Amino acid sequence: MSATVVKLGTQWFEYADVLVDVMIGYACNVQCDYCSVTDEMRKENMATAPVMAALAEARRRGATKVSFGGGEPTIRRSLLPLVRWCRDRGYRSIKIPSNGLMYSYRSFAEEACDAGITDFHISFMAHTEELYTRIMGRPDALSLVTQGVRNLKALGRKPVGDLIIKHDTWMHLADIVEHWAGFGIDTFNLWLVSLSDRNRDNLESLPMVSEMRPGIEAAFDRGKRLGVTVRSRHIPRCMLPGYEDHVVDLREDKVLVVTPRATFALWESRISPNTYAEKCNGCRYQYGSCLGERRDYLERWGDAELRPALEPVAAPAA
């Protein structure tokens, strides 16, 4: 099977290097307090047949990596049949992002592993029952997610942790990293809460990065001390001076997002950093390793925190 290329944004990639990320539906088994999915969006689903058709075509063109997201993909009955279908057709990497609740059922965790999921990502909301309950709305959430991690670990799987940076988590990020590192998690992605759709008016949830930076930097430092990886996915490198090595460009994942409404590169999403402020002009990282800031962040806080790395002006000739 010969690989072909696909255009993501303005760049071309081999299909074999691209992760096809299918948002199969936005239904969920909880309502987190920062979630951007509206009640109307929760009714949106992709029928199984079109999903299979799109993935069959992607596989024909050389794709080997797929992800099923949402919403909460683990509550969809067709998920594991789709995973098995992809596995049997040569998809070698199959990723599932989840809130982790369903893995608390040992039988489901076993079936998920047997079906062919290779990459488990879990959104860890917090490290205490109180904070987990406040964010997720379930008093048993922490215990269920903990059991889910234990089940996956017993089955030889090690999830990646996704952490949301917001008004009531930034000061706890280091402790959240240490808590879940104690369960064997060794990779954590930090994502900035989004002011979009259902969460667009929840302005309190998104403080300035400069206010939250001590907690973010503490997470990086704690991760280094513990020997685990902590990386930021939504904050421009110039807003985290001294910690630029922890900033990861979303383009590195080469993600093609397929939703019920549209298909686009991950970094083209309106909740991804992809907008340059005027003061970014001349920065050595512009159009290179930095895609700019998120639009919702700029609308909320402007560009005062941006510190462009401007090239030095050459001295005039003598």
Q: At what angle do helices 141-154 and 129-136 cross, to 10 degrees?
A: 100
The C-alpha atoms of residue 15 and residue 4 are separated, in whole angstroms, by 6
CA dist list (Å): 290 to 116, 242, 257: 35, 16, 20
Pick from 111, 224, 205, 98: which is nearest to 149 by CA?
98
Give the start-end residues of each E strand in 47-186.
65-69, 93-98, 119-123, 160-165
Question: Which residue range is the domain that position 90 belongs to?
Answer: 5-269
Q: Is there a domain that residue 27 lies in?
A: yes
The C-alpha atoms of residue 246 and residue 237 are separated, in whole angstroms, by 8
The C-alpha atoms of residue 139 and residue 173 are separated, in whole angstroms, by 20
The C-alpha atoms of residue 149 and residue 156 are separated, in whole angstroms, by 11
Q: What is the pLDDT, as a whole number, of residue 10? A: 81
Q: Is there a domain that residue 289 lies in?
A: no
For 110, phi then psi, to 5°, come to -65, -45
Q: Hey, CA dihedral for 102, 37, 257, 122, is it positive or negative?
A: negative
CA 235 to mean position of chain CA atoms: 13
The C-alpha atoms of residue 123 and residue 165 are separated, in whole angstroms, by 11
Asked if 45 and 260 touch (Cβ cutoff 8 Å), the reply is yes
The C-alpha atoms of residue 148 and residue 140 are separated, in whole angstroms, by 12
- Work out the percent of the chain whose per-residue pLDDT is above 70: 97
- Residues of the chain whose pLDDT is less than 50? 1-2, 313-315, 318
The C-alpha atoms of residue 253 and residue 92 are separated, in whole angstroms, by 16
Looking at the structure of the chain, the number of domains it has is 1
Q: Is there a domain that residue 314 lies in?
A: no
For 224, phi then psi, to 5°, come to -60, -45
The pTM (predicted TM-score) of the whole model is 0.93
198-226 CB burial, b ≥16 within 10 A, e <16: bbeebeebbbebeebbebbbbbbebbeee
Q: What is the pLDDT, as a whole number, of residue 313? A: 43
Q: Is there a domain that residue 311 lies in?
A: no
Q: Is there a domain that residue 309 lies in?
A: no
Q: What are the tokens at 41?
A: 């969006």
The C-alpha atoms of residue 128 and residue 141 are separated, in whole angstroms, by 10
The C-alpha atoms of residue 162 and residue 159 are separated, in whole angstroms, by 10
Q: What is the pLDDT, as a whole number, of residue 75? A: 97
Element (H, E) at 5: strand 5-8
Q: Is there a domain that residue 150 lies in?
A: yes
Residue ranges of the alpha helices (H) in the chain? 48-60, 79-88, 106-115, 129-136, 141-154, 173-181, 209-226, 295-301
Q: What is the pLDDT, as a whole number, of residue 3? A: 61
The C-alpha atoms of residue 175 and residue 168 are separated, in whole angstroms, by 13
Q: Is there a domain that residue 287 lies in?
A: no
Q: Is there a domain that residue 22 lies in?
A: yes
CATH number of the domain to which 91 belongs: 3.20.20.70
